[in-house]
Amino acid sequence: MNGWLGFKKAFKGSNFLTLMFSMMREVTIDNTPPAMSVEVTTDQTAYAPGDEVTVLVNLRNFAPNDRGYSYMNFIVQYDSAVFDNAEYLVQSAYSDSAFTPGNEVGNIFQYNFVNPVDGGIYFGMNTTMRGIDIQVEANSKQAQIPAVDQTLVTFKLRVKEHTLAGSSTISLANEFTRIRTSEASNSFYLYSPDITVLASEPVAIVPTPQVSVYSMGSSAKANRLA
């Protein structure tokens, strides 16, 4: 027992823990620059209830000399209490007319752009958040998705009727991001820590202008008197 107490005293008085945590910190730090930035934007900054919203997924700031990617998978999250897209879906997948692949990946002979799929993203949690699953893959190793600034895809949502004035953010759920790169016949995946997410601006929901029936009646009455 005395030997164990002596060891504990010596251990406590040493710098072993400091050294150990310092080594762990050095091992876990990743100084690799991000592969790219992703930003989710909308075609307007404010909408009224019932308005259609066009969402854009933009890729920017690729690393220098980046050769491109053979596969990309992003999930864009939105609040289903504010936005709806049922009119654009067929069995949970966007119809061809409700989304548009960007210019860089719109060639069906080079790229397989899977119709975006709508679904729950936070399983087991009481939330109204849903996600649009976006996947695009090169059809061959010779057809990399170019590492250039681009809009990867646009798709549509609609502000629900009777939505109260406020704001809501449509953004990237980056914890689900997967990107595959192929070099020298070897493939490996990059995940969310390798991707910089540019913060999305909140979308403003403004009340629908109300026309006063009383004002219309008064105006008509004045015209008749005139």
- pLDDT tens digits, residue range 163-198? 999 999 999 999 999 999 866 566 678 887 889 999
Out of 1.10.260.40, 2.60.40.680, 3.40.50.720, 2.40.30.10, the CATH code matching 34-208 is 2.60.40.680
For residue 1, pLDDT beyond 60: no
Domain ranges of the chain: 34-208
For residue 3, pLDDT beyond 70: no
How high is the pLDDT of residue 55? Answer: 98
27 pLDDT band (50/70/90 cuts)? very low
How high is the pLDDT of residue 143? Answer: 80
Q: First-to-last CA distance in the chain?
A: 109
Distance CA 145, CA 112 (A): 11
Instruction: Give the mean model confidence (pLDDT) for residues 42-60.
Output: 98
CA geometry: angle 52, 53, 59, nearest 5 deg: 155
Cα dist from 181 to 26, 136, 142, 197, whole Å: 26, 13, 12, 19
Could you report the per-residue pLDDT of 121-165, keeping only the tens digit for each?
Answer: 776 676 899 999 999 999 987 788 999 999 999 999 999 999 999
What pTM value is reported for the model? 0.77
